[in-house]
Amino acid sequence: MLRIPLRYLSILVSVALLVIGNGLQQTLVGLRAGIEGYAEETVGVMMSAYFVGFVFASIQAPRVIQRVGHIRAFAAFASAASAFALCFAIFVSPPVWIALRVAQGACWAGLIIIVESWLNASAERSWRGRVLAIYSIVMYAAWAASQPMVGLAPTSGFVLFAVVSICMSLALVPITLSRAGGPGVVLATRLELKRLFAISPTALAGAFVLGATVAAFFGMAPVASQQAGFTDTQTGTILSAALIGALVLQWPLGWLSDKADRRLIILCSSLAGLLAALLLGLLLSSAAQIVAVVLSFVLGGTLLPLYSVCLAEVNDRIDEGELIAAASGFVLVYGVGSAAGPFAASVTMGWVGPSGLFYFIVAILGLFAAYGTLRIRLREKTVIADKQPYVATPSTSHAALPLHPDAQDRATGEPAPR
């Protein structure tokens, strides 16, 4: 059992509040856009806009944080995100919402970089792996908990946007009053994509594919579910099932990837996700809620943990000192895929209806499976004895990776002991 030391608790409470607010808003915006009658392509642009802001801030936020300090930057990002949440309810207009989504994506990137670097500064080397595991659990659990909250009040009203704002504002309290060590240094180093591709083409392609499919699912599934006749509460339950699936299945997938060729695990898990998406596409309009929940559990459980497996595949093939730079490059590729996925899925939905979301996921995963099969035939697998241990890693920012037990020690520059 993972016990949480008190010195980390305040930071993790802030993380939970941030994720609950952000997760609720992600679903709320999609449902509200459907009520307002926005076209699928318009909603797709809104959902993609968030990741445009996220990618931009992932590159620029470290400079802002280094210039004004962690606490001031955190207060600024959280206050802005709280205000933007209320603006959605006040200015109901597609151009305004697109701009707000860009701004919120940027705020979220800044907040997560600060939180992760703060956790890193607070974690002793012997605790780094466990802190990252606890952090991943908190992220998935809070995100899952946020989804049923769409049933607390009508999505056509003001209340839920106010709930999002309250969560973002309250997240300021624990972390700004925390005594869990000083904030860490934010590293902005990034490995060249050409080198990342040479190290593991399958893993890098996987980061892009996972970004596109996961962002498409969570961005457009509220619209697809709404169009298929599910209530807001049922939609929240379906999305929550995907996150619970990720929470439950990430450890078995990680264990398997430590024992076998990680690329084979990535391929098989992608094919399982493809099958779940295909069944969702075929059955969406006629499926009972329990069927949609089960298939969503499988889809989320087979896709979301693959980010960590892909990153572990790269870690097996690089020097320990390149871990943070590789992870930062991964975040960039994942973010670009996330920016492209929702809009591409929305275009498919405009052609064939709500099932188009899942057919888009099927097509992307099918192409990736074919590419992954080719790569396995062309390149030798990593020897098991040379593998780094799997660690569940959120697909957020590179700042979390010093928490990994194989990352370089920030103070000494020496590899952390195993």
Kindly state the percentage of the chain with pLDDT values over 70: 80
Tell if the pTM clears 0.75, that is, is over it: yes
Q: What's the pLDDT tens digit per position in 152-182?
A: 999 999 999 999 999 999 998 887 776 655 5
∠ CA 109-89-284, nearest 5°, is 75
Residue 367 neighbours by CB distance under 10 Å? 12
What is the number of residues in the chain?
A: 418
Residue with tokens 């590729």: 333
Residue whose tokens read 């701009």? 99
Q: What is the pLDDT of residue 220?
A: 94
Nearest to 167 by CA among 50, 70, 24, 28: 24
Q: The tokens 């074919």 sit on which residue?
A: 370
Tokens of 359: 């057919």
Output the six-digit token pair for 295: 């298939």
- Give residue for tokens 């969702």: 280
The answer, yes or no, to whether residue 362 has pLDDT greater than 70, is yes
pLDDT for residue 53 is more than 50: yes
- 77-91, 212-226, 379-393: least confident range: 379-393
Report d(CA 326, CA 313) in Å as an integer: 11
pLDDT at 66 over 70: yes
The model's confidence at residue 251, banded by pLDDT at 50, 70 and 90, is: confident
- DSSP-derived 3-state class of residue 408: strand
Helical residues (DSSP H) of 123-150, grouped into ranges? 128-146
pLDDT tens-place string over residues 271-282: 999 999 999 999
